[in-house]
Amino acid sequence: MGHHLKRLREHSERQVQRMDADTAADGRLVMDAAAALDIREFDVFMLAYQRRFERDPLPDRIEDIFARYMFVQEAPAYVRQFAREALAQAQSGALDPAAFGVPPKPHAGPDRRGPLMVWGVLGLTVSFCWLLIVTPADAGRDGRLFCDRGTGSAFIGTVARSISDRPNPLGCRR
């Protein structure tokens, strides 16, 4: 009796080791297929289900199947078959993601606002530096940064003087 029990234990340990190896292989297989198709692992499950059953999966059903994969690394047979086909085509260099139901990725292209933003920032930077250069060093030191006539700012007055040919276009007293 002890001999049979020992053999049974050994057999079940071998089965568990084989199952562990199979489930680890499922995880690698799905991850490799997802990488080859440039999609998420969850999308592999969705596309495999759609291909096998020719309809969209129910959200609860696919979440249960994917949760089992995430926790136990066990994938259904149709997912393994889907992943094997994708990997075989990828290895042969003939992988067409569209044939597996992967929608084409949108082409981002250049941002049309890019030149406007570059020129705008450049213009603001040059304007700010120019204003720093033309503003007198003593502006506002006597406590009179704001004028009593004109726009109300000695800074704006200085800008106006640098643009205008008049010495005091806004009438600020200095």
* pLDDT tens-digit series, residues 46-105: 999 999 999 998 888 889 999 888 888 889 999 999 999 999 999 999 988 989 888 888
The Cα–Cα gap between 5 and 67 comes to 35
pTM (predicted TM-score): 0.51
Q: Give Cα 65 to chain centroid, integer Å.
A: 26
25: three-class secondary structure by DSSP: helix
- Residue 97 amino acid letter: P
The Cα–Cα gap between 138 and 117 comes to 34
Q: Is 101 exposed, middle or buried (0-12, 13-18, 19+ CB in 10 A)?
A: middle
The Cα–Cα gap between 63 and 174 comes to 75
For residue 41, name the pLDDT band (cuts at 50, 70, 90).
very high
